[in-house]
Amino acid sequence: RIKASGLKLRFCTNETQATREQFVRKLQGFGFDISVDEVTAPAPAACRILRERGLRPHLLVHDDLIPEFAGIDRTNPNCVVLGDAADNFTYANLNEAFRVLIGLENPVLISLGRGRYYKETDGLKLDVGAYMKALEYACDVQAEVVGKPAKRFFESALAELGVQPQEAVMVGDDIENDVGGAQRCGMRAVQVRTGKYR
């Protein structure tokens, strides 16, 4: 209905356990009319930052997310990109990412979100934010967070739509990530009472 009205539409997700392709297929399965180029997600936003600043990432992310980084030079890394790596959060992988980071003259840590934890069918899990804090502390750095509620993340979505903040409305169920983030970016925002709302 939004599309039929002629309004421009964009989907902003913090999903970092899957590519946009997988994410879109899931939503299509729920009956949504959505395509990959309508999605703003942390990984492609990170790729834009990497390209702009000539950064070559060491990736500590979910296996299913790696295709999003195709075409990004990952040799001789000069930064670390951290996502919700789930089972890839092993002791060995964390130490490896730490060693890359601490070995850099100017350590750059890009985190695809700052969530504390989330719930899966088999229980609560530590989210990317917890591991971000571990690396921040060990290396005495501050991570650059990509994804909601980061301002630059909303700015990317606006740029992709070709509209100004005051012309846009954010709709989401998360008071901080969706509503707060969008408002700090100069957008209006609406919280829906579905999803995680309570």
List residues binding a copy of itself (CB under 8 A).
Answer: 86-87, 89-91, 94-95, 98-99, 102, 116-117, 123-127, 129-131, 133-140
Q: Taking Cα atoms as reference points, which of 139, 101, 112 lies closest to residue 47?
A: 112
Whole-number minimum distance, CB 115 to a copy of itself, in Å?
A: 9
The residue among 61 and 185 lying less far from a copy of itself, judged by its C-beta, is: 61
In the bound state with a copy of itself, the residue whose beta carbon lies nearer, of 30 and 137, is: 137
What is the nearest approach in angstroms of a copy of itself to the Cβ of residue 65?
A: 16
- Least distance (Å) between residue 161 CB and a copy of itself: 33
102 Cβ partners below 8 Å, 6+ apart? 138, 139
CB of 59 or CB of 94, closer to a copy of itself: 94
Q: Name the minimum Å distance from CB 84 to a copy of itself.
A: 11
Residue 53 or 116: which CB sits closer to a copy of itself?
Answer: 116
Q: Which amino acid is at 84?
A: D
Nearest by Cα to 72 from 84, 88, 61:
61
CB of 7 to a copy of itself, least distance (A): 38
How far, in Å, CA of 79 to CA of 190, rounded? Answer: 36
Residue 55 C-alpha from the chain's centroid: 17
Nearer Cβ to a copy of itself (26/99)? 99
The encoded tokens of residue 118 equal 């989330």
**Helices and strands, counts by H and E, the chain:** 6, 10
Quick check: bond before 149 cis, omega within 30?
yes
3-state class percentages of the chain: helix first, strand second, coil last, to nearest 5: 40, 15, 40
